[in-house]
Chain A
Amino acid sequence: MKALSKLTMKRYIITNAILAASFANVALFGERLAMGEAFTAGLVTGIGVGWLVFAVAGIIELKRPGRAWDERTMAIFSKASGFAFWVVVLVASVLSALLRSETIGLSWTAADLCGTLSNVALGSFALSSLVISRKS
């Protein structure tokens, strides 16, 4: 986020080029990794949406320097990142016990676990950002 507050047109163009290359790579060659049709489609969509969000947020920031991403916004994201980290640690530690339990008998794959942890991280970050921005 701090990078976005210091965004210049040069950095904006370079980052867009990197995101475009990533998007093209996954869109063109994603199927060769045989990750499953739905997962590949989700990955392509995710990178595409991320690229779009950066492109739109970046151009808004360039038009209005120092307004949208100021020190308060950075403080909110910093606190939310810390909160999300501890939520992931908690969930991972609980899951590590549950997945070992023969009584509970969860049969998750590594992909299921990674997907769940990613969703927990993103969800807790988004939720805590909203709550903290309301309170600060």
Chain B
Amino acid sequence: MTNTTSPANSMDPLALELCALSKTFKLGGGMLHKPQTLKAVNEVSLRVPRGQVMGLVGESGCGKSTLAKMLLGLTPPSSGDVLINGKAIVNANQKALARHIQPIFQDPYSSLNPRQRIAQIVGLPLRIHALGTPREQAAKVDQMLDLVGLPKRAAQQYPGQMSGGQRQRVAIARALIMRPDLVICDEPTSALDVSIQAQILNLLLDLKDEFGLTYLFISHDLAVVEHLADRLAVMYLGQIVEEGTREQIFTSPRHPYTQALLASALTPEPGLGVPDIGLGAGQPDPTQPPSGCAFHPRCPIAQPQCSEQTPKLSAITHASGQAFGKGSQARVACHLA
């Protein structure tokens, strides 16, 4: 594994860097109501070294997908910077951005145009960017379909004629045909059956090695994230509460939220029963986030200070820091960690 490289080391090439990235939405408002503000993403800073898989986990509504949209240039950030390969993208042209970063979405049923043939769908980026002659483009499409494990005849089919797994392969082919550096995988397997999920995960790993890709892998399935990710960031109500290498997060999680998330993942081991994770009901209303640490109302170990002071995401040295390789820095936002 490549965990010995440090994300904090400025010598390493970073595929992606987020600097205090925020997105605020205004909700409602009108003649009689003041609009409410919702901080979907709140000052997120993250560095993803080239060639690594950064897992991003958290409950629904924690801002994972808003973050992904900002990276793809689909939503402008309210403040903060996104740097891809060291260059800020905030004012970058969408077309130029698309050559470096591509998405794979969750639902392969709604992300493919049902009225276009697969060859058109996969070849569209080449046509938009006017790369090569039509013949070269067709050859490239064939090659790409072959790489993602689709038969040649698939090129002439429509998405409606394909299974969910095959469609997700098409989505992957479309994302990779421009040879991007960075791929945002937003729950790429959660709409698929388990037997198909394994095929797609294997494919994503193979393609990563083949093209030297960097993935930002968003998922709620912790077993899948543990399988793929080199590093992991845990989000709660728009903020990163813990970040570290896979080993750090999975073997010694420091934030109580990370601990609860890991405890609630159900592995196929009979007889263990369902864990009692003791996290009250759902997340609080994001338009009225709790004072201090946003997690304190659900936190089993909350202290008085937690409702008063907001903990900063700060570097920690793990007790067994050396075991994870030197320089593998972890960050956690908790007064008590």
* B is bound to A: no
Residues of A within 8 A of B (CB): none
Residues of B within 8 A of A (CB): none
